[in-house]
Chains A and B, each alone.
Chain A
Amino acid sequence: EVQLLESGGGLVQPGGSLRLSCAASGFTFSSYTMSWVRQAPGKGLEWVSGIPASAESTHYTDSVKGRFTISRDNSKNTLNLQMSSLRAEDTAIYYCAKGRSCGGTTCSYFEHWGQGTLVTVSS
């Protein structure tokens, strides 16, 4: 059974930093593209960042470029999101999401999600 377990959320002051982690199990982590998706309170879904299986590239939505860094450790089945210069508008539930198998590769349709971790940016 695929499991994605996020951790690291909490309350942080504006301008502060936080590191989110996602522990993956139940599948071959090193074979799948992974992403972070967030949802502000009462708002819709926003894709934040993605990283292919071998981490040859990283991708971000414009609003977090230069502030957030996605990484993965395939030896530990872990996905990370280092967040810095946090703003009030970064307040959201952050979900770890696994890409779907697509004809021998993986593609960024999210068939499995974690339960989410809440990040609150406030003074």
Chain B
Amino acid sequence: EIVLTQSPATLSLSPGEGATLSCRASQSVSNSLAWYQQKPGQAPRLLIYDASSRATGIPARFSGRGSGTDFTLTISSLEPEDFALYYCQHRNNWPLTFGGGTKVEIK
């Protein structure tokens, strides 16, 4: 099983600031990685797939990069609605796994 480790656990930032979230895989997943956003009481929303492709309707301020074992999600300028939990997930092989999550909170 591939373990995904996300860091930091919590990111405290102000609206307008940039955010960089990290996801590290225990072995290579090529570019088979996605990022999700989840708000309280809601199902997750797909943001990024194949490490760097934005899903339908996702604003350009969200970008992803990386391959192999190291990946980042960048939010260029935080909007109030971006304060949420973020998870990475690989689909390189079965079983699929998610990272433990990063909470982006208002400073």
Contacts and interface: CB of A to CB of B under 8 A. Distances in A.
Interface of A: 35, 37, 44-47, 50, 59-62, 95, 100, 107-111, 113-116
Given A114-B43, A115-B43, A109 B34 contact: yes
Nearest to B96: A47
19 contacts: A44-B87, A44-B99, A44-B100, A45-B38, A45-B98, A46-B98, A47-B89, A47-B95, A47-B97, A50-B94, A61-B97, A100-B49, A109-B34, A109-B46, A110-B34, A110-B46, A113-B43, A113-B44, A115-B43
B40 to A, nearest CB: 11
Interface of B: 1, 34, 36, 38, 43-44, 46, 49-50, 55-56, 85, 87, 89, 91, 94-101
Contacts of A35: 96
B95 A111 contact: no
A116 B41 CA distance: 10
A107 B34 CA distance: 11
A66 to B, nearest CB: 14
A95 B98 CA distance: 14
Contacts of B46: 100, 109-111
A108 B100 contact: no
Contacts of A37: 98
B6 to A, nearest CB: 9
B44 A110 contact: yes
B78 to A, nearest CB: 21
B43 A108 contact: no
A82 to B, nearest CB: 18
Contacts of A110: 34, 36, 44, 46, 89
B18 to A, nearest CB: 24
